Structure formats: C-alpha cells, structure tokens
Structure 1
Amino acid sequence: MKYLFSLFFCCFVVLGFAQNKNLHQKKVVVKSNPDLVKINDSIPALIPQKNNGKYGFINQKGKTIIPYQYSNVGFFTEDCNLLNSPNEKVRKYGSNKYASVRINNLDFRIDRSGKRVYLYKNSDLGKCSLPYVTQLFHAYILNNSYGIIEDSKFENPGDYRQFTIYPQYDYLHILEGDDLKNPMIVASKNNKFGVIDVNNKVIIPFEYNDIKRNFSWKLARLFEVTKDGKNYFYIDVNNNAY
C-alpha cells in the first residue's frame, strides 16, 4: 500500500510539473511578411523591375523590396542545374525560394530578402533533362498574313474552315505555357502588339510597341512589354502594369 501511494505521489508531481511547464511555454507564431502578400495569386510576389539601367524587385503593390543594383535578374523560380547538382549542399538553392541575379559579372542566387546566399560555380551545375513538349497550334502564313492552325485538324489551306484563326495579322507568335489547349499568342496588327487566344479573343489590347517572346508567361504568367521601344515592364493577363 505504501508503495502504491509513493508511485501515485510521484506521478502526480511529474504531471503537475509538466502542466506547469506547458503553461509557461510560449507559442511560436510565424508571421508572414506583409510586403510579400499577394494581391494576384497567379503571379509572383516579387517582380523584376528595371530603373536607371539596374534591376531590382518590387512587390505587387509596386513597393521596392530588393534595391536596383543588378545588371540582370530572373524570377524566383527553380534552377534545374542546381536542383540536379552533384554537390548535395547547394541543391536547395535550386528551389523557387531563390532568384538568379548578376552583378559585376558574377552570378548569384538571392532569397526573398535580397540576401545573396549562393555564388554560382561551374562545378556545381548538374544536367537538366526537360521533356520536349509539342505544341498543338502553330502560326500559318497565307498571302503575307499570319493565322493559327491546329496541326491535327489542318490539311487544306484552301478551306478557311480548317483554320483556327484565319490569317489576318501582321505577325503571330505562340508563347510557351502550361496550357497547350489555350496558349497565349503575341499578335501584331497595324504596327501595334497585343495578346490573343486561340479563339481570337483579345487578351491584351493592341497598344504596345513590342511584347517580348520570352519565358515570362510560362515562368510567371506575365508579359514583358514596352510602349516606347526602350523601357520594358511587366503586365499581367488583366493588363495591370508592374
């Protein structure tokens, strides 16, 4: 009986100590950075911007988050060369938590605070094995005008019904993206550039001097545009500028 009482007393003391300890423990709450809160969830929280010949990053509200100091920058996206690096310690820098930047002819990965966390080394670069994806649609030139065809359905250019978009533009270029059935298409008409879809719906109005045919749509769902032929900036699918 005495043994049972002692055992009960010990358990009570241990339980009381544990409860008292839990009462004094503070809960750790990870606060999100208000500067990185997304207004548009389909595009990155940080967007490259050029100012006075140097690149930095702004947030979706237009606030400068990473100062303009780089000669070139990329989006916060994966780098498959680092993800497949023979050096296991640097593979983490290949994730989309980091962006590639260049300064003084040196290439770095930076985090979202702008801190340079990795300096590129050729010995760290692995091989990328990205699968080739065939586009469903292609541009087609007829009588010096551009249209769109779907390869699997197109046989006779004399039959206008076989064209997805009958040739009517000065220029067309299908951008790479994740949605092969509904790609974004850079179009030019009357010396102005815009963006259309395969239904010939205008996505971005024809008000730009140029729209770059690069990977900004695939990587960030943004278009890189200019109105004066010199100063480029990004817009989203709703034509909001950044």
Structure 2
Amino acid sequence: MRKIHQAIPVFVCLTILGLVSCRPVEQTQASTAVTQQNQITNKLFPVKSNGKYGYIDQTGKVVITAQFDEAFDFSEGMAKVKIGGKFGYIDNTGKTVVSPQFEDADDFSEGLAGIMTDGKMGFIDNTGQMIISPQFDDAENFSEGMAEVKVGDKWGYVNKVGEIVVSPQFEDSHNFLQGLAAVQIGSKWGYIDKTGNFVWNPTE
C-alpha cells in the first residue's frame, strides 16, 4: 500500500545525486514529452454516474459504462476496480481480467501488482496468477526489479520471484531509483545498493 514517507535530508539527496550519472537533459525532456503525449492520448479517466464508476476518454466519451463501486487510474494497461467490497482488474475495454477477490490491491508496476488476502500482501501478474504468495504485512510497487516489503514493523526488499534480497530491518524505506534506495534506521537516513550495502551511511 502507498506509504507516507518522512522527508529525507536534502543534503544527502544532493550528495547521492552527484554519484549517479544522468542522460543529457535534451534527450530526457524529449523522451518525456513523447511519453506524456502518448499517455494523454490513450488515457481513460474514472467518472461517477448514478452511484457507480466507469471511464471516459479525453473527449468525454464514455468508453466503459459505470458499473463499479470504485475505479482507479490505469497502469500498464490495467485498472483496479472494486465490486462488492473486493478488488480486481480490468483492461482498457472494460473486460474483467482478474475477478474481484482481494481485500486491497495496488497498481501494476513492472508487470506485477501487490494484492492483499487474509490481511497479507503478495503479488500477481497481469493474468491474475499468484507470483509471490501473500506473506507480508505490507508491500509497495516494484521499481528496478525490487519491491519494499514489511515484516512485523520493519521494511526490506524482495525480487520478482519473492526472494528476500535485503532483510527487513528498516523503520522506513523508499523504492529503488538508479540503483539506490533511501532507508531509515532509527531517526537516521542513508542509501543502500541492491545488495543491501550502504553507499551512504545513515545520518541525521
């Protein structure tokens, strides 16, 4: 589920960013503009009508009729919807791909989505197949092949086959970005790599 993070010290962020190579600004801006335009062109928007939710396109045309108790934005061609207290997923034609059966659910990211069953979080693929069985107290979306998972009151990281790569030991954590992730130990924040080694030791 989506976490609300404490702020990371700015000077740590600036220092770490200096260690990470970046692509030319012009290339990044151009590719971002194309991606954003494609997203706008193909985007569907959840709307409420007569107590139910459906989807319209950017012209306001109804594409998926209102039939859901709750509806959310699309990610990777799938949107989570709620019917009768359970969450499932539809494609952009409104076809049910994963029937509503979960207590809670997250968006798809890198081909997987976090779902909750019997109070535990696991991950399914876009066919609804359970890839990582529900076993975590909480979990976040995958980023760069790793996902934050919570066991008890500590956060760690798993890979896409459910192997714990970084054991749960942190009070809080962020997802990986360009090979690094911010983690909190006590009141201090630092950065780890994908093996769990600190590249910047925790500091106030």
TM-score (norm. length: structure 2): 0.49
- Greater helix proportion: 1
- Greater strand proportion: 2
